[in-house]
Amino acid sequence: MNYMKNLTCISCSRVYRAHPQRYLCEDCGAEGLLEVQYDYEALKENWSREALARNTERSMWRYAPLLPVPSPAFRPPLQVGWTPLYYTEALARTLGLSHLWIKDDGVNPTASLKDRASAVAVAKAREAGVHVIACSSTGNAASSLAGNAASVGEGLQTVIFVPGRAPQGKVAQLLTYGALVISVQGSYREAHDLSAAAIHRWGWYNRNAAINPYLVEGKKTVSLEMAEQLNWNLPDWLVFSVGDGCTLAGAYRGLKDLQELGFIQRIPRFIGVQASGCAPITRAFHTGEPLQEVEENTIADSIAVGSPRNYVKALRALKDTQGVMVNVEDGEILDMIKVLGKYTGLFGEPAAVAGVAGLKKLIHEGVVGREQGVGAVITGSGLKDIKNVITAVGEPVKLSPDIGALEPILLEKGLI
């Protein structure tokens, strides 16, 4: 059973039929982001927390009633979602916090949270009967799209526009999954504009998250899972790294759905974290002024978005939850990669740990109380981008193969 009703414009409320290739409002243009509407009344009658508990599907598709994909036949076969949520006591203690839960979305099939959106994109392209699907991306949106498209077999080709600076690990993924990769020698914005022009000219399926209304629905499964994994009792705060703003907006959307259905009563306050070298959304949030494009100066490439396109939904989520935005320096991000690794066994890429780095700052500033509980998501695996990490973690101990030489080192480390 499918509960999707239609799409509505967030600016003018105009209603559209939910065609897979309906992206923006005709009247409002780029400002006219659309939002999927569901039949909550029917959902309430036919779906419940108990029904979910009985569901044996261990992927994002366990929330199919709240997703915009009418038939299971369109879903790509990779197992996306239902990632682990850890109660990270040692890290909480180090940060001076009472309760911290961390969801590891680095274990998704292509190693980032973006798989959640790309799985929906591939399903919608198949529903539309389109054979080429394209996007511009700093890396993870692209690699997840290429992987999910490859998983459905022949018949779906991906064309990916990446900015020149995309990390090698991600580009290697793209080429491995068989995508046509166009490395645009310019900024993310220029890569985006070129992809938009090509998509328009050749009628490809558009997986640009900021305008395709279905993708944020895929991303919302991250918060649906957190809520269910926490037995419908969410902590005081949820933290997200912010680039385009789609992840944060999607997570909020998921919790709004759950509240509408009566699965949860309260929505946590949201924390958005950007890198100091590229923080247009933080600036707009604090000044109340319209968003201004900025340069992209940070090692956290997945959140280096100088001209974000989904900030409207993200700002709305922050406002509605009395949220906060904060920036972190690249040094703080690199430091958090090490702290996270050491105290949890999780390895995140720079953008993935920016959220927790921001959390650390907010605890110091007293914005997040030490007695409070927080949930965070590691949005992508550290193995995707090891260049900067290697400079931060230093060198291994170099030793000749001689146990006599090993002994003083072990003594010094207190291991013997």
Binding site for ligand PLP (CB under 6 A): 112, 114, 140, 241-248, 302-303, 349, 351-352, 379-380
258 binds, among Zn ion, ligand PLP, none (CB under 5 to 8 A by kind): none
HEC string of the chain? CCCEEEEEECCCCCEECCCCCCCECCCCHHHCEEEEEECHHHHHHHCCHHHHHHCCCCCHHHHHHHCCCCCHHHCCCCCCCCCCEEECHHHHHHHCCCEEEEEEHHHCCCCECCHHHHHHHHHHHHHHCCCEEEEECCCHHHHHHHHHHHHCCCCCEEEEEEECCCCHHHHHHHHHCCCEEEEECCCHHHHHHHHHHHHHHHCCEECCCCCCCCHHHHHCHHHHHHHHHCCCCCCCEEEEECCCCHHHHHHHHHHHHHHHCCCCCCCCEEEEEEECCECHHHHHHHHCCCCCCCCCCCCCHHHCCCCCCCHHHHHHHHHHCCCEEEEECHHHHHHHHHHHHHHHCCCECHHHHHHHHHHHHHHHCCCCCCCCEEEEEECEEHHHCCHHHHHHHCCCCCCCCCHHHHHHHHHHCCCC
10 binds Zn ion (CB under 5 A): no
11 binds Zn ion (CB under 5 A): yes
State in angstroms the smallest separation of the CB of 211 from Zn ion: 13
For ligand PLP, give the closer residue by CB, 103 or 126.
103
9 binds, among ligand PLP, Zn ion, none (CB under 5 to 8 A by kind): Zn ion
For Zn ion, give the closer residue by CB, 25 or 174.
25
Region near Zn ion per CB under 5 A, out of 20-28, 277-285, 301-309, 370-378: 20-28
State in angstroms the smallest separation of the CB of 16 from Zn ion: 9
299 binds, among ligand PLP, Zn ion, none (CB under 5 to 8 A by kind): none
212 binds, among Zn ion, ligand PLP, none (CB under 5 to 8 A by kind): none
32 binds Zn ion (CB under 5 A): yes
State in angstroms the smallest separation of the CB of 290 from Zn ion: 18
For Zn ion, give the closer residue by CB, 28 or 42.
28
Q: The tokens 């990769």 sit on which residue?
A: 181
Q: Residue 349 and residue 274: Cα distance in Å, rounded?
A: 14
For Zn ion, give the closer residue by CB, 25 or 303.
25
For ligand PLP, give the closer residue by CB, 126 or 219.
219
State in angstroms the smallest separation of the CB of 349 from ligand PLP: 5
For ligand PLP, give the closer residue by CB, 3 or 111.
111
Q: Residue 17 and residue 8: Cα distance in Å, rounded?
A: 9
126 binds, among Zn ion, ligand PLP, none (CB under 5 to 8 A by kind): none
Task: Check: CB of residue 188 under 8 Å from CB of residue 161.
Answer: no
Contacting Zn ion (CB under 5 A), which of 1, 12, 30, 175?
Answer: 12
The residues that bridge with 380 in the sheet, in sequence order, are 112
For Zn ion, give the closer residue by CB, 132 or 211.
211
State in angstroms the smallest separation of the CB of 352 from ligand PLP: 4
150 binds Zn ion (CB under 5 A): no
28 binds, among ligand PLP, Zn ion, none (CB under 5 to 8 A by kind): Zn ion
State in angstroms the smallest separation of the CB of 247 from ligand PLP: 4
68 binds, among Zn ion, ligand PLP, none (CB under 5 to 8 A by kind): none
Q: Residue 164 and residue 240: Cα distance in Å, rounded?
A: 26
379 binds, among Zn ion, ligand PLP, none (CB under 5 to 8 A by kind): ligand PLP
25 binds Zn ion (CB under 5 A): yes
Tokens matching residue 163: 């900015």
Largest CA distance in the chain: 77
State in angstroms the smallest separation of the CB of 199 from Zn ion: 21
Under rule CB under 5 A, which residues in 258-297 are in contact with Zn ion? none
Residue type, 155: G
State in angstroms the smallest separation of the CB of 383 from ligand PLP: 12
Angle at alpha carbon of residue 140, lines to 110 and 156, rounded to 5° = 70
211 binds, among ligand PLP, Zn ion, none (CB under 5 to 8 A by kind): none
For Zn ion, give the closer residue by CB, 11 or 94.
11
Positions that interact with Zn ion (CB under 5 A): 9, 11-12, 14, 25, 27-28, 32
